[in-house]
């Protein structure tokens, strides 16, 4: 099962991605997580990426594209994968398409979580990260996933904020990139949706309304995946 997951920052993409990953038992590959892990380990990739991430800009394609195409060749990806945070622009979409064709791989699903920009912004500013597991959802502005005091609601771990989550200019910058239908993330998403249209609905496109609570969005997604 090979799946691309689209959604603006703050749409609950990470949370829904974790659900899809568990359903299909495939690795959940999140570009942002890979970068953050490299930053905390102080690797050269992390050092190179940090400035861009702090400003809410994309890490250059020359770094990101080979990193992801390489990751997809790892053993755990043989049965499939869920890509989250990639492609993030039209060039990345075209390069991914090219690489998949070269490897004779076909995509199964394009999942797009649709959410108005204003709602997405508030959600980002309330997001808290669990130090034990990046996929433990906590948000001080969303009742369903409110932390337990100042601790993770799933495991009781300590919570921290992402530096780029509290910076309004960086959030706006990230959303400018996401909602850009000319060359940004939505352009990449539309690239794959067009391919699907041209090939009679393959990969399947699932548009999910991201406005309801996490549970409602998850059950909508699960129903549409037919699982």
Question: Toward ligand AMP, which CB reaches closer, 182 or 198?
Answer: 182
Would you call 128 a catalytic residue per the annotation? no
Catalytic entry in 23, 146, 162, 204: 162
Residue 89 CB partners (closer than 8 Å, separation 6+): 58, 61, 177, 183, 184, 185, 187, 188
Question: Toward ligand AMP, which CB reaches closer, 56 or 210?
Answer: 56
Site of interaction with ligand AMP (CB under 6 A): 9, 31-32, 35, 52-53, 56-59, 64, 85-86, 88, 92, 174
C-alpha 56/C-alpha 66 separation (Å) is 21
C-alpha 185/C-alpha 93 separation (Å) is 9
Would you call 55 a catalytic residue per the annotation? no
Catalytic entry in 21, 121, 123, 174: 174
Three-state DSSP state, 200 = coil
Question: Toward ligand AMP, which CB reaches closer, 51 or 156?
Answer: 51
**Residue 91: strand pairing partners:** none
Least separation in angstroms between CB 123 and ligand AMP: 12
Least separation in angstroms between CB 129 and ligand AMP: 10
Q: Which letter, b or e, does each residue of 16-47 get, where b requires 16 or more Cβ atoms within 10 Å of its Cβ? A: bbbbbbeebebbbbbbbebbbebbeeeeebbe
Backbone angles phi, psi at 180, to 5 degrees: -80, 115
Would you call 47 a catalytic residue per the annotation? no
Least separation in angstroms between CB 102 and ligand AMP: 19
Would you call 123 a catalytic residue per the annotation? no
Least separation in angstroms between CB 189 and ligand AMP: 12
Residue 167 CB partners (closer than 8 Å, separation 6+): 54, 56
Question: Toward ligand AMP, which CB reaches closer, 31 or 152?
Answer: 31
Would you call 88 a catalytic residue per the annotation? yes
Using CB positions, name the residue nearest to ligand AMP: 32
Query: Which residues form the catalytic set?
Result: 13, 88, 127, 162, 174
């Amino acid at each position: 099962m090979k799946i691309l997951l689209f959604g603006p920052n703050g749409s609950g993409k990470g949370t829904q991605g974790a659900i899809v990953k568990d359903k299909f038992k495939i690795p959940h590959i999140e570009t942002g997580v890979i970068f953050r892990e490299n930053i905390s380990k102080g690797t050269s990739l992390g050092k190179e990426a940090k400035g861009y991430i702090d400003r809410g800009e994309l890490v250059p394609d020359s770094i990101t594209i080979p990193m992801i195409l390489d990751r997809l060749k790892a053993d755990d990806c043989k049965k499939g994968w869920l890509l989250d945070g990639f492609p993030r622009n039209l060039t990345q979409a075209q390069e991914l398409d090219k690489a998949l064709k070269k490897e004779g791989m076909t995509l199964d699903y394009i999942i797009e979580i649709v959410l108005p920009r204003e709602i997405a912004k508030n959600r980002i500013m309330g997001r808290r990260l669990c130090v034990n597991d990046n996929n433990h959802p906590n948000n001080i502005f969303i009742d369903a996933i409110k932390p337990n005091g100042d601790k993770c609601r799933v495991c009781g771990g300590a919570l921290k904020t992402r530096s780029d989550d509290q910076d309004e200019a960086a959030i706006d910058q990230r959303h400018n990139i996401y909602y850009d239908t000319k060359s940004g993330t939505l352009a990449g998403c539309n690239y794959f949706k067009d391919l699907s249209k041209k090939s009679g609905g393959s990969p399947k496109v699932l548009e999910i309304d991201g406005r309801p609570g996490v549970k409602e969005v998850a059950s909508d997604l699960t129903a549409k995946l037919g699982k």
